[in-house]
A and B are shown apart, each in its own frame.
Chain A
Amino acid sequence: MTAVPTDATPKTARDFTYIKPQRRRLTEYEALTAHMQPDHRGFDHPRGRVVEPEWLLLRDDGSELWDPASTALQIPDWYAWRDPSQHWQRTYVRHQEQQEGAIERATEDAALDGSLAELDPHWVRDLLCGHYRTWSFFEYAIFRALAPAQREALSDTLGNALCFQCFDHLRHAQDIVCYLVELEHHTHGVDDALGKRHWLEHPAYQPARQLAESIMACRDWAELMLALNLAVGPLLQQLAVSELVRRAALPNRDAVAAHIVLTSERDRRRNLACAQALAGLATDGNNPHAEANRAQIQRWLDDWLTRVDAVAVALAPAFAAVPVPATTHAESLSRARRATVDMLAGLGYTAPLGIPP
């Protein structure tokens, strides 16, 4: 417990004195998020830690309800982490509802003004069904991987942010499918089985499938949070969704696909800020494990970026499927690599991508 509730301060009895605000005043987000989790390390012990913490009940395998060994990072007080976007359930749901509402109206308007019917069937079949749809499987894998990660996260503030990110990916996966369902009413190019066939058989997607499996096999929740947002998002999803679909959408007269990707990019920026805040907390000067954490994060980035880059390199055939190309695979890959290297350099990390920072 960090606050001192026994001090004769003029605080009213309803102030949450057990939550230490990050800034001067407790925010609504902090009051609704921090110390909701019944973890003795967070708050269920007398001031001064006079007793050894314990659990009323252990898990079936004998481990604690929250296990410090669930991540290789070491942070004395995980509850000090704050979501930079300050989201709690209502603000998150409201924000995503607005994004979904915007997509729904854009799709409806594009259907009514005839622009969906005017889409090039090659764009719809080869690019949207054959490639964009394939990434909904990848997004779903991230969603499934983040669900257990949020359970293991060592504070409620982190767990909530992982939960929100988890649903960002499910939202994007479903938006892709919903858009294709709508397109079926307006064009003849839709082949929904193609995306799955590519995911299972196309040589360009087998490295991505392997990466999806290693994401789901990752048992370290903090590694997952950092790898997804500092490596997979900025390098692979930037290339495979932003560069491939969003950049090419307007030359191919598809405003709706561009809009869907824009909303997923907005989520990605929010989640990147969360991962940056976690990396910052792990390597904070007051943390005695800062150096070990920095070395651990660098090892993770080296490992993940090497694999993610190989997946990105394999995606060249996807760029060849765009009817009116806006960019080449080589150009897009080099842009995504450059942005990733610069972003990581800002955090003090290097990237094994063959580009100097």
Chain B
Amino acid sequence: MMLFAAAWPMQFLRVDPLTAKDFDWFEKKYPGWYNHYGKFWESYATMTDPAEGRFPLGLFESPPPLCRVCQMPCVFPRPDISTARIKTHAGRKHAFCSDGCEHAFRIEPHRYARNFTWDEHFDGYELGDWLEACGLLRADGKTLLAQPHLKRERMWTLDDIRALKFEIRNPLKNLPAQGAVEVLQ
């Protein structure tokens, strides 16, 4: 959910910032929650206003790569202790989020031969260009379909996004591979 929220312009669902009541509820249900997740949600709340000119994913030095098999970001079970691994096969680099996904690939690698993740596709795109190319805008031609909050009065527009100067990058390009995939015959 944090990654969904952090990459909100690319999402089809809208995540409203948490309130003080939500923070209390999480801490009570899951003691220690705040130490892990509190800071992120506090800063997310400050970044929902376009006037702030910030976007959570833009603060990451390098976003996690996307898994070749399940297409989810390699952040499981938790970003700081993820089971991600990068392997090569047939001249390409592949990220896998888990043993399970790597196993699926090892059984039939040929079925992924023309599979490209979202960030491999759009590597080098300016975020606003990508949103415009995909038509992810409302009927006025400038307000984004995606929004980081549920408020109606001040919604993000293409101009707000362009001001971020955010470029989509494929993190897999610069990550070192840890050997080749051992294909199961």
Contact = CB atoms under 8 A, between A and B. Distances in A.
Q: Do A and B come from one complex?
A: yes
Interface string B66-79: 00000100000000
Interface residues of A, number: 25
A56 B108 CA distance: 13
A152 B111 CA distance: 18
Q: Could you tell me the dominant secondary structure of chain A's interface residues?
A: loop
A55 B141 CA distance: 29
A9 B121 contact: no
A47 B132 CA distance: 9
B29 interface: no
Nearest to A61: B110
Given A46-B133, A56-B71, A60-B108, A8 B140 contact: yes
A11 B135 contact: no
A127 to B, nearest CB: 53
A5 interface: yes
For chain B, the bracket of interface size reads 20 to 34
Interface string A49-61: 0110011111110
Q: Could you tell me the dominant secondary structure of chain B's interface residues?
A: loop
Interface string A278-309: 00000000000000000000000000000000
A47 B131 CA distance: 10
B116 A60 contact: no
Interface in A71-107: none
Interface string B130-150: 101111011111000000000
Interface in B25-63: none
Q: Which 9 A-B pairs have the closest CB atoms?
A: A46-B133, A5-B135, A8-B141, A46-B134, A6-B137, A58-B111, A8-B140, A6-B135, A6-B141
Interface of B: 71, 108, 110-116, 121-122, 130, 132-135, 137-141
